[in-house]
Amino acid sequence: MVKPLLVEEHPLDGMIRADRMPHIWCPGCGIGIVMRCYAQAIIKSGIELEKHVVVSGIGCSGRVAGYMNIDSYHTTHGRGIPFATGLKLANPDLCVSIFSGDGDLAAIGGNHLIHAARRNIDITVICANNFNYGMTGGQMGPTTPYGAKSTTSIYGCPEHPFNLVYLLAAAGANFVSRWTTIHVRQVIDDVLYAFKKPGFSFIEVLAPCPIGFGKSNDLEKGIDEMLLYRERCVHKPDTPLDQLGIDLREDQPIYVGRFIDREAPAYQPILMEEKT
């Protein structure tokens, strides 16, 4: 019989607040995978932990601010980005990240999202997109794919969702990418890249929500949605931005990759030049 390997500590022990465990996420939820990617990127960044700050809004993804063992702020619904903007403007040396969900960022927080991108604020936004309001019952949200079912669209979503990559590119973000929870190396690499890239960075990560979204769409286990991503994702970063919408119906590809990487000046240096 093979004896289990005993280890004294986990590599991420110092990054997670053990006193907050067990976490609230449902079995199969993808948010923990995205949080792990974020934590690993922090460790690899070489930036002192004292300079890392994470801000979140309301929702399942918003719990990340409570679980990360760095300076963290859990704000009101949709207000993570203006709070983070204030932190960055007050102390430009901070590495400020917003970790939240599609509903918080693109619905009630949508106005803040586009204007932070327009100003090109030097912050990193990580959006765990699970296509619904998972915490409050699986309602249809701004990224629910057309035709997908939810507790408020039982016959299929009648609205066309936001193409978040296209939206953020049009608004002026310096860096925009999309991955899924099966692309952990790419997510880590892009978060690392965003930490050190001036300007507004937006990383969308498609994440399973088997309880909120999956149960209504024949994806009742977390692995079901992961397998869907494995079968349907196509790495094609040169795809025209207006063709990056997500349609989960049969035979529709899901394009992933780095789609925007430009060098427009960030907001803070411009602001300082005006003051002088």
Q: What is the pLDDT of residues 236-268, one digit of tens each?
A: 999 999 999 999 987 899 999 999 999 999 997
pLDDT for residue 272: 62
CA-based radius of gyration for the chain: 18
Q: What are phi and psi of 175, to 5 degrees?
A: -140, 130
pLDDT for residue 6: 73
pTM for this prediction? 0.94
> How far is the C-alpha of 37 from the C-alpha of 190, rounded, in Å?
10
- Compute the CA torsion angle 22, 24, 30, 35 (nearest 10 deg): -60
pLDDT for residue 251: 83
Torsional sign, CA 152, 158, 163, 168: negative
> How far is the C-alpha of 178 from the C-alpha of 34, rounded, in Å?
12
Average pLDDT over residues 204-212: 97
CB-based burial label for 156 (10 Å; 0-12, 13-18, 19+): middle
> How far is the C-alpha of 119 from the C-alpha of 267, rounded, in Å?
6
Instruction: Give the confidence band of 96 by pLDDT, cuts at 50, 70, 90.
Output: very high
The tokens for 265 are 């000046």
Could you report the per-residue pLDDT of 10-46, keeping only the tens digit for each?
888 889 998 998 999 999 999 999 999 999 999 999 9
Q: Strand pairing of 95-101 and 124-129?
A: parallel
Q: Please, what CATH class does the domain formed by 13-275 belong to?
A: alpha beta
pLDDT for residue 276: 56
CB-based burial label for 184 (10 Å; 0-12, 13-18, 19+): middle
